[in-house]
Structure 1
Amino acid sequence: MSTGKTIQKREVGNKIEANNKIQKAPEKSPIQRWIGWAMRQSLKESITGQWNTALVRDNFSVEEAAAILAIPLSSREVDDRFAWHLEKNGKFTVKTAYRFSFSTSSSRSPFELTVGATFWKKMWKVCYNPHAMHYNILEWFNFCAKELLLRSLGDLMYLLWGVWKERNCRVWEHKSSQVGEVLIKVISRLNEFRFHNLKTEPSGVRTHMVVRWKPPPVGWFKVNVDGAYNYASRRGSGGFVIRDFQGTMVAGGGKVLPGLMSPEHAEARACSLAAQFVVEHDYLPAILETDSQIVYNHLITRDGRNTSTLGRIYDDIGVILDAHPHLKVSHTRRSANTVAHLMAACSRSFTEETFYFSAPSFLLTALAAEFCNL
């Protein structure tokens, strides 16, 4: 279905410009395109390919500058492209377009929630029972637990969590959403929660198996990578450790990572740092190992340009992987990535990008522990 209109989020080179209105995409004149290119180049440092931090902060508010500096940049010269900012993968979907249009429509009407009328009748009876006296929230929760079925109680707790999350966004992040948008998000998450929790589990007793670090094949190197992220400061660090097939650390490094958006952002940048180091110092053939399933999935499913928020980073790593067939990617559990985790944690105190070509003192104990488990 086409209406002749577009909702756009334009990723201009390395910068993302969002347009939340539904309108016709205007045609830019050559001079407008040149001015836009000149502005983008001035905000980037030509040598490092990173944001010109001082210039960005001088020309934008604190909030705007923080948002701009968190946008990942490519280390390569790349063309402009369009990305859909309402989806994590940057690809347009009718569902998110409908939700956006519905939540911003001034003529929206009440809609049927997917949890069902029986659920809401039960909720009304429990929450507003005039014969039940509740002096605190714990008594009220206890009453709900007795009156509701387990599934209905779980739905109630999930809905309350959605309201609490919206409250935190308003208090701490000064961001607010309309009631309809909050309901849509919560109900959608509730449906996803139901879907995953209705999956049948295999019969029998489930045992928890701790995964240990395993050395690479003879003649190969294994590069364990990890990223650390602080939600309050939106800063983090990344670290990596390179070991040979005998379990000996031959190199490693880490750095502070300012201007992050998420733990995934920290992990992706740590992988980029490790991949570049491996290629520059010829630690090949090698296996790049991460404990992030999301990052791993992005790196092994490189089917064209990645239009997600962190797509530029994944594209840059993909170029390195494509150019070096003997650099592979693997995923492991957190329990098998403790040395890289420690490297990333210690990198928070680094004043500059730091590399090692032998085991530093703060990693000796962790390396010895994993070596004993081989």
Structure 2
Amino acid sequence: MWGMDVLSKGVRWRIGDGNGVSVYEDQWLPRPSTFKVCSPRWLPDRFSVSDLIDSPGKWNEPLIKRYFLLEEAELILSIPLSVHPKRDSVLWNFDRKGSFTVKSAYRVAISAMRSYEASCSSGSHHWWKKLWSLQLPNKIKIFCWRACHNILPTKNLLYRKGIIDSASCTFCAKGPETVDHALWGCKNVNAEWYQCPLFFDLHKLKINNFFKRVVWVGTVGNLECVTKFITTAWFVWNYRNQTLFGDKARNGRESWAKVGLFLSGVKVDESQAKVSTKPSPEIKSWSPPTIGTFKINVDVAMDWGKGRFGAGIIIIDNTGRILKAAALIFNGRVSVDIAKAKAIYEGLLLAEKSCLHPLVVESDSINIVRLCRGEIDSRRDVFNVINDIQILLARDNRTSISYISLICNRVAHEVARRAITLENSVYMIAHFPSWLQKLALSDVLCSVPLLE
């Protein structure tokens, strides 16, 4: 139940053809935390995202700007669409690849918990800040938060929700198994707590509330005491689950031995020294393509203030002569990955229209290059552009795409930098500005690789 709540905070749709996604009801905007449309419902409720698409790869911009708030309209228009759309699919928003991971789910859960605790009293808020600062894995801190809020799946909680028939403790049968009973009051956990080496006597503590007990430990002791107490409680809960579901007998001495090893392991992990490695030699110059092959270099420059980006495209032959160039401007606050992918796609389109092939495409984004090659996968919105790139690449099996360092990509970078100063995109076919010719010539003259 708790896990489903966390899942709902990070799942959204990646738009393909838009047929399966409701404009108003579904989570599809790349904007946490709801991912839903906030604009007034001026369109029919039955509208799907496909109704906002004019043609493959193109949003219906006039419609979107008319019926959505300005900020939301810009957000929708920044979502890349594929010219060859596939079905809509689900992605996990809080992972770089769009895939669900337990680690990213923990981050989402902790963020939600901190937001919740921020509304509590100042004293309670101060205590939660202490909890989040403890040098413990997120799973233990989340366990503590759930225990303090009485939402661990004890028999008492499951009984109240109508999931099981009895709330009675399985181990002692002396009353309902509440959070406090499972972690402290049951006689079967006494052995585990007697092994907990704190300088004060826990067993004389007459508090029947787990949250108050943790706060008391932090008041009487220090953060190390709280760490030991919470970790012991976590192991008590784990042993309870193993005994119930894994036929494992409880052993208090063994339990705290594991706690001690676990805590020492945490400290060891934190004190690991970082090992520095000497980087491999890096090629520091651009090189022309082989005879009969054309090279495309692309790069982008982001203008976050105006919410747009510029793309620089250069197509050169084996002599270093510029054949085509383009300084393109795109509106939308997109990710750098989407911008880099869009530049590659536009470069391939320009070469195809000019009947230039085979091609060597170079980009200074190793992530996008690997995606285009199919070496890695992504569920994120950038996949729509990658899909179109892969279709263009597949039209000529002699065409390849490779990574180039930024220092070797300076001509395309300079074109992109100048593009964001333009009002409209510029295509250069036969005549090129002198600064561009000089920059390209200097690359040709220095085309022998230099190693550092």
Match of 1:321 in 2: 393
CA gap of 1:293–1:113, structure 2 versus 1, over 3 A, is: farther
1:87 aligns with 2:159: no
CA contact (8 A) 1:216 1:245 kept: yes
Normalising to structure 2: TM-score of the pair? 0.55
Equivalent positions of 1:111-190 (< 5 A) are 111=132, 113-114=134-135
- What is the aligned counterpart of 2:286 among 205, 208, 213? 213
Cα deviation 1:35-76 (Å, max 9, x = unaligned): 76x542332222x63222222122222221222121111112
- Which residue of structure 2 lines up, in the alignment, with residue 337 of structure 1? 409
Q: Does 1:262 align with 2:352?
A: no
Q: How far apart, in 1, do the equivalents of 2:412 and 2:305 lie?
A: 23
Q: Deviations over 1:218-240 (max 9, x none)?
A: 21111000111012122111121
Quick check: 1:201 aligned with 2:204?
no
Q: Does 1:45 align with 2:59?
A: no
Larger radius of gyration: 2
Q: How many residues align?
A: 280
- 1:76-128 deviation per Cα after TM superposition (whole angstroms, max 9, x unaligned): 23211111111121111111112212322447952453399xxxxxxxxxxxx
- Equivalent residue, structure 1, for 2:174: none
Aligned partner of 2:105 in structure 1 is: 97
Whichever residue aligns with residue 445 of structure 2, its letter is C
Instruction: Please list the CA deviations of residues 114-173 of structure 1 after superposition, one character each: whole Å capped at 9, or x if unmatched.
Output: 399xxxxxxxxxxxxxxxxxxxxxxxxxxxxxxxxxxxxxxxxxxxxxxxxxxxxxxxxx
2:298 is the counterpart of 1:248? no
Cα separation, 2, equivalents of 1:286 and 1:35: 47
CA distance in 1, matches of 2:339, 2:4: 39
Whether contact under 8 Å (2:288, 2:444) holds in the other structure is no
2:195 match: none
Name stretches of at least 5 consecutive residues in structure 2 with no aligned partner. Answer: 19-27, 35-43, 118-124, 138-269, 448-452
The one of 222, 226, 229 equivalent to 2:302 is 229
Counterpart CA distance in 2 for 1:80 and 1:357 is 38
Amino acid at match of 1:371: V
Which range moves more in the overlay, 62-71 or 243-252?
62-71
Q: Is the 8 A contact 2:369 2:403 kept in 1?
A: yes
Does the 8 Å contact 2:15/2:381 carry over to 1?
Answer: no
Secondary structure of the corresponding residue to residue 381 of structure 2:
coil
Contact in 1 for aligned 2:16/2:86 (Cα 8 Å): yes
8 Å CA contact 1:50, 1:73 repeated in 2: yes
What's the counterpart of residue 354 of structure 1? 426
Root-mean-square deviation over aligned CA pairs = 3.4
How far apart are the structure 2 equivalents of 1:55 and 1:365?
A: 45
Which residue of structure 1 aligns with residue 86 of structure 2? 78
The one-letter code of the counterpart of 1:261 is V
Q: Which runs of 5+ in 1 are unaligned?
A: 22-33, 117-192
SS in 2 for 1:229: strand
TM-score, with structure 1 as normaliser: 0.65
2:323–2:429 contact (8 Å) kept in structure 1:
yes
* SS in structure 2 of the partner of residue 267 of structure 1: helix
Note the C-alpha offset of 1:20: 5.0
Deviates most, 320-329 or 237-246: 320-329
CA distance in 1, matches of 2:91, 2:370: 19
